[in-house]
């Protein structure tokens, strides 16, 4: 990992030399690389998946952060977007596993249990596996939608107060608290935007490891 990390950081320093975003790019790349190595593999042969993981991370992070800009559109707060992204990735991972392991891929759905229980446990394992694609989409959608809905409600409340309350010290005091709450929730949403991109990538790497090594 040390050699890979050194080469990657040297390349990033060359590409973003003199740029203020250099530090953020390196830190985010280091984070994704550590997730990949810790949860999947540090083998050079398996690093072919790293560009995909990086692309997914930056794509989701960009969508999430763009949604915090006023009057912008948050793609990841819509189920259609998250479903298309997660189901496409999950289907690709599954097909990759089938291509690599052929019939042995289906051993993934055979739990280590006494054979009389296999007819009962195998459908459960099969269902739990394929529901992962939907859980990826729902988790991202629900977290982004909840925060944005709360911000919209509070912003609407503040706007109504501004319109309906006469200009006075009392109105300023009334507005002060919800504005502070909105600022706090915006900061929280900034953290959630980064965290959800990270969680999505971690789960994606774990699922990729499972179909690659069948464990």
**pLDDT reported for residue 28:** 76
pTM: 0.81
CA 174 to chain centre: 37
Give 25-53 as a 3 state SS string.
Answer: HHHHHHHHHHHHHHHCCCCHHHHHHHHHH
Q: pLDDT tens track of the chain, all 215 residues? A: 544 545 555 555 555 555 555 666 677 777 888 888 888 876 777 778 888 898 899 899 999 988 888 778 888 988 999 999 999 999 999 999 999 888 888 888 887 777 777 788 888 888 989 898 899 999 999 988 888 788 778 777 777 776 766 656 666 666 677 778 788 888 888 899 999 999 999 999 999 988 888 76
**pLDDT reported for residue 141:** 92
List, as own/partner pairs, every contact residues 30-36 make where C-beta atoms lie below 8 angstroms and the sequence separation is at least 24, other chains included. Answer: 30/5, 31/198, 32/57, 32/201, 33/1, 33/4, 33/5, 33/8, 35/198, 35/201, 35/202, 35/205, 36/205
Alpha carbon distance 139, 90 (integer Å): 14
What secondary structure letter does DSSP report for 103? G
């Amino acid at each position: 990992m040390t050699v890979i990390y050194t080469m990657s950081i040297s390349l990033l320093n060359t590409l973003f030399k003199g740029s203020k975003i250099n530090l953020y790019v390196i830190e985010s790349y280091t984070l994704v690389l550590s997730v990949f190595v810790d949860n999947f593999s540090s083998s050079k042969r398996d690093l072919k998946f790293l560009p995909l993981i990086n692309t997914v991370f930056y794509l989701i992070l960009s969508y999430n952060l763009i949604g915090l800009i006023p009057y912008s559109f948050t793609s990841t707060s819509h189920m259609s977007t998250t479903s298309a992204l997660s189901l496409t990735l999950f289907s690709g991972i599954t097909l990759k596993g089938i291509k690599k392991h052929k019939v042995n891929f289906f051993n993934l759905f055979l739990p280590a249990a006494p054979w009389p229980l296999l007819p009962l446990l195998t459908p459960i394992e099969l269902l739990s596996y394929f529901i992962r694609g939907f859980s990826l989409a729902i988790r991202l959608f629900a977290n982004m939608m909840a925060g944005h809905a709360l911000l919209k409600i509070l912003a609407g409340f503040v706007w109504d107060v501004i319109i309906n309350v006469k200009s006075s010290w009392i109105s300023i005091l009334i507005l002060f608290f919800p504005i502070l709450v909105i600022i706090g929730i915006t900061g929280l949403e900034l953290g959630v935007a980064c965290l959800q991109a990270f969680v999505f990538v971690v789960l994606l790497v774990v699922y990729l490891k499972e179909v690659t090594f069948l464990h």
